Amino acid sequence: MRDRVLDDLLNEGILLDPEAAELVLAQADPAAYVRSILAVMTQHPLVLTAEHIKTYAQVKPSRLPPVQVNPVLEELRKSPGVMARPKDSSIEIISDITGNSTCEGSVNDFARCFNDRFKKLKKILSRRPELAGSLPVAKAVKYDREVRTIGMVSEWHNTKNGHKILEIEDEEGRCTVLIHKDSEYLNENIVNDEVIGIVGKATSKGDLLILKDLIRPDIPINNAMVPSDSSSSIAFMSDVHVGSNTFLKDAWGRMMHWLKTEGKDEIQYLVLPGDVVDGIGVFPGQEEELEIEDVFEQYHMLAELLKEVPDSIQILIQPGNHDAVRPAEPQPTFPKIIADIFDSSCMLIGNPCYMKVEGRKILTYHGRSLDDWISSVQGLSYENPIDTMDEMLKRRHLAPLYGGKTPLAPEKEDHLVIEEIPDIFVTGHVHGAGINMYRGVTTICASTWQSQTPFQKMHNFSPDPALLPVVHLGTGKAEMHDFS
Ligand SMILES: [Fe+2]
Ligand SMILES: [Fe+2]
């Protein structure tokens, strides 16, 4: 009975994590129960978790009407996307899922994607001198001496005696790691599915490692941006949300005036890291917050607004969770029908996108996973999104947390691993703004052009709109231009 119910759901494309499966199977009609949960969710995750069930089981459809499925939008979301070529050779795409997606969403795909994550991060960790001679996890616990090993965290919990227990695994096996209550690492935030290095000592029983040092892939401490002879600057303009009735027309006008006058000589590249339009059907009741209710018209309006950008500036457009592309990350760029709306000065890229601009390495990611980081890791907040970006760099992964708000597509390769160290790392999504530096990487949260939304007001969140971060590609100097 149990397997048949789960198989039937799988045939409908519904995957459940083990805890969710237990909750569902405890119901009188498991299939009807799952459908009632999905009916009130604004976006369907690839895997339904216990967290989803606990959250949405409370929601009465009358209070939270399901978003109407728009057939046009559904088609757009299935499109593989077309990547427009840059008009000059100063932009080189290093990594982008556009045109490379192989994902079919099967359970095997997930295993393959997680294996790839493990391999890539193990390779980075293996270069660390502290982890020289590391052993497979199952072997490491068998030695009666200090050992080194590398594993992916499958789960962790605090014990009633005040210690912390981690379960880690590699391709061959798994083991338990104990972080003693007196360890300096006790309060270290551990995230499921992150890959870590362990220096530890096995107990005489041979089934547990006592942690001595926890090593993260991280950015090397001596990493630095090397100045180049480029005289160009790049600006980042996230979360424009054209079509929303809270789009900041006046601030946009001030920014555009600057771009056409003083900014014209300063800026050579302009990147829009996602949520370029407000979209449709993103959350229940969105129609009431839209000035433009047709998604194509929203993109037409954006294209009109961008026509004012001086021709000397190369524009790059990336999708976010409000855009009409596949919501699961990595997101391919826009489908042809939308790409055709923009003129040839706009280059369309996927999310995330790793590129070189005049030799400067730039990682631009819309930042949907910031929601999961902030809700799961103590000390992180919407007020300081830059701190969360540091956590991504430490773990060399944009979205290790699986099963949260960030839908993940299990591609053959895990495109969310930060394999190469960028000079500039940009996100948006949370509508905050900031510039910082983490071990030689300039980190930027690229503001928004939308004022406080009713949802943000309800959650007492004040955005930082109408700010334009600009980085000089030669010197690396970064500054924020204020148009609020
Ligand atoms: Fe946004
Ligand atoms: Fe967003």
Q: Mutual orientation of helices 18-25 and 30-39 as an angle, nearest 10°?
A: 120
Instruction: State the CB neighbour count (10 A cutoff) for residue 76.
Output: 20
209 and 246 share one domain: no
What is the DSSP annotation of 345-366?
TEEE--BSEEEEETTEEEEE--
What is the DSSP annotation of 52-105?
HHHHHTT--TTTSPPPPPPHHHHHHHH----PPPPSSTTEEEEEE-TTT-----
Domain that holds residue 33: 2-56
| C-alpha torsion 265→269→270→271, nearest 10 | -160
86 and 208 share one domain: no
**Secondary structure element (H or E) that encloses residue 434, with its range:** strand 433-438
pLDDT reported for residue 195: 97
- Which residues are in the CB-under-5-Å shell of ion ligand 1? 239, 275
For residue 222, tell me if it sits in a domain: no
**Secondary structure element (H or E) that encloses residue 112, with its range:** helix 107-126
251 and 202 share one domain: no
Among the bound ligands, the one closest to the CA of 238: 1
What's the length of the chain? 484
Among the bound ligands, the one closest to the CA of 351: 2
One-letter amino acid for residue 339 of the chain:
A
* Domain termination site, one of 215, 249, 275: 215
52 and 89 share one domain: no
pLDDT reported for residue 58: 54
Residue 319 Cα to ligand 2 midpoint, Å, equals 9
412 and 295 share one domain: yes
pLDDT reported for residue 107: 74
pLDDT reported for residue 111: 87
pLDDT reported for residue 48: 76
Among the bound ligands, the one closest to the CA of 455: 1
89 and 138 share one domain: no
For residue 151, tell me if it sits in a domain: yes
pLDDT reported for residue 44: 57
Query: Edge-to-edge strand order for the sheet containing 441-446?
Result: 91-96, 353-357, 360-364, 424-427, 441-446, 433-438
For residue 13, tell me if it sits in a domain: yes
Q: How many domains does the chain have?
A: 3
* DSSP symbol at 310: -
Residue 189 Cα to ligand 1 midpoint, Å, equals 27
Between CA 251 and CA 244 the distance in angstroms is 15
For residue 80, tell me if it sits in a domain: yes
Residue 294 Cα to ligand 1 midpoint, Å, equals 18
For residue 120, tell me if it sits in a domain: no
Residue 465 Cα to ligand 2 midpoint, Å, equals 14
200 and 309 share one domain: no
287 and 196 share one domain: no
Residue 145 Cα to ligand 2 midpoint, Å, equals 48
Instruction: State the CB neighbour count (10 A cutoff) for residue 291.
Output: 15
Nearest to 469 by CA among 459, 482, 456: 482
Residue 465, domain CATH: 3.60.21.50
Among the bound ligands, the one closest to the CA of 449: 1
302 and 360 share one domain: yes
Instruction: State the CB neighbour count (10 A cutoff) for residue 201.
Output: 16
310 and 428 share one domain: yes
What is the DSSP annotation of 212-274?
EEEE-----TT--PPP-S---EEEE-----BTBTTB-HHHHHHHHHHHHTHHHHH-SEEEEES
* DSSP symbol at 299: H
The answer for residues whose C-beta is within 8 angstroms of residue 104's C-beta and 6 or more apart is: none
pLDDT in tens, the chain (484 residues): 566 666 656 555 567 777 777 777 777 667 667 766 665 565 556 667 777 777 666 543 333 344 455 666 677 677 666 665 555 679 999 999 988 888 766 777 888 899 999 999 999 999 999 999 999 999 999 888 899 999 999 999 999 999 999 999 999 999 999 999 999 999 999 999 999 999 999 887 777 999 999 999 999 999 999 999 999 999 999 999 999 999 999 999 999 999 999 999 999 999 999 999 999 999 888 999 999 999 999 999 999 999 999 999 999 999 999 999 999 999 999 999 999 999 988 999 999 999 999 999 999 999 999 999 999 999 999 999 999 999 999 999 999 988 788 888 889 899 999 999 999 999 999 999 999 999 999 999 999 999 999 989 988 899 999 999 999 999 999 999 999 9
275 and 358 share one domain: yes
Helix (H, G, I), strand (E, B) or coil at 204: coil
Residue 151, domain CATH: 2.40.50.140
Among the bound ligands, the one closest to the CA of 366: 2
Residue 310 Cα to ligand 2 midpoint, Å, equals 27
For residue 314, tell me if it sits in a domain: yes
